[in-house]
Amino acid sequence: MDERFQSTDPPPRPSPMIKAEGGLGTKADTRSSAGVNPGPMAGAPGLRVRPALESDVAAIEALEQSSFSDPWSASSFRSSLERPEVHMTVAEWRDEGTEPILVGYMVAWFMGPEGEIANIAVEASWQRRGVGAVLLDEVLATGQAAGVDTIYLEVRPSNAAAQALYAGRGFRTVGRRRNYYLDPPEDALVLRWDGDHSLVRARA
């Protein structure tokens, strides 16, 4: 947890933060390389990133539970939605003539010049197709437009997929929190993005 946010009544974070960035990196990495990878879809017309709605919470919770060992609750997502400093988005995919399906989500918050990425997950069979990058780019661009110049996050050292995603957008490791995660216990790497705007790709 980033102490600078504690004094300003942040969103429901203590348990969610531990859970959120503690995703089963190894498990997710394994699943994402399981062969379901029909190709990139970033920029494809069927992919849309939009603000999360209350009606998305059930699908977000389901994806959260399948992605993390110690998931946020539905009420954590609902209360996050009510907080003005929270930026919560979903990625949905729509084939022609079908209902859109939620394939990913991201939760961040912005406070003045600083932000924090609290949670991101992409449905396993949609991973490695650019969805996480589109979600992250949207958050960085929105934060940048809101005057945010520094964004922090925590990630498990074992979560190679997430670290590669963040490194590709200019996040750098700036610290380590001992025994930060539970289930399984693990340190957290603290990553920071310093507003290297050249690394924020165009929105999909």
Ligand X SMILES: CC(C)(COP(=O)(O)OP(=O)(O)OC[C@H]1O[C@@H](n2cnc3c(N)ncnc32)[C@H](O)[C@@H]1OP(=O)(O)O)[C@@H](O)C(=O)NCCC(=O)NCCS
Interface residue list for ligand X (CB under 6 A): 21, 23, 25, 28-29, 32, 67, 120-122, 127-133, 155, 159-162, 164-165, 168
In the complex, the smallest distance separating the C-beta of residue 189 from ligand X, rounded to whole angstroms, is 9
| Nearest CA-CA partner of 120 in 97, 141, 103 | 103
In the complex, the smallest distance separating the C-beta of residue 132 from ligand X, rounded to whole angstroms, is 2
- The half-sphere exposure of 168 on its side-chain side, counting CA atoms within 13 A, is 13
Q: Which residues pair with 149 in a beta bridge?
A: none
Question: Which pair of tokens denotes residue 45?
Answer: 């017309």
Nearer to ligand X, 58 or 164 (CB): 164
| Nearest CA-CA partner of 132 in 17, 21, 42, 70 | 42
Q: Are 191 and 166 in contact (CB under 8 A)?
A: yes
With CB atoms as reference, the residue minimizing the distance to ligand X is 132
Q: Are 106 and 23 in contact (CB under 8 A)?
A: no
Nearer to ligand X, 57 or 204 (CB): 204
Nearer to ligand X, 147 or 172 (CB): 172
Pairing of strands 172-181, 47-51: unpaired
Nearer to ligand X, 88 or 131 (CB): 131
- The half-sphere exposure of 96 on its side-chain side, counting CA atoms within 13 A, is 2
| Nearest CA-CA partner of 91 in 123, 58, 55 | 123
Nearer to ligand X, 9 or 13 (CB): 13
99 Cβ contact list (under 8 Å, min separation 6): none
Nearer to ligand X, 49 or 120 (CB): 120
Q: Are 36 and 131 in contact (CB under 8 A)?
A: no
